[in-house]
Amino acid sequence: MQVELITPEKILFSAQAQMIVVPGTLGDFGVLPGHAPFVSTIRPGVITIDTEDGQQRRMAVIGGLAEVVPERCTVLAEYAVDCSGVTLADVQARIEKAKEDIALASTDTQRALAEKRLLLAETLQEAL
């Protein structure tokens, strides 16, 4: 089945997959080819994709929704980061930067964006 993970900035992942596990608002759900159609909101967590070539990809996500049809799963994420190649030091730096940005925020919008970045970094930390 085709799996796509799309953020407002770019298509983060697009490939054929054997299975995808998504952190739904009501709990994690797995999708296999031929799955019944449905739509679900997603909560902060890690999407796991088993690709056709036997690899496993992990993506930290917060916010958004997933649309499932028998031949495709599309995840529209508010924020997402590919866990590949991310180190614990990278994550710690993201967390510290986000905390600093929260402390220095002069508007509600700046604070909200920094809080989202902190939540994403903490989710990424859990994924490692």
Q: For residue range 18-74, what is the model confidence (pLDDT) as tens digits?
A: 999 999 999 999 999 999 999 999 999 999 999 999 999 999 999 999 999 999 999
Selection from 55, 45, 68 nearest residue 17 by Cα: 55
Q: Which residues contact 74 (CB under 8 A, 6 or more apart)?
A: 3, 4, 6, 66, 67
Over 90: is that where the pLDDT of 126 sits? no
> Does residue 128 carry a pLDDT above 90?
no
In the chain, pLDDT over 90 holds for what percent of residues? 88
Closest CA to 15 of 84, 75, 85: 75
**Once rounded to an integer, what is the mean pLDDT over residues 90-106?**
94
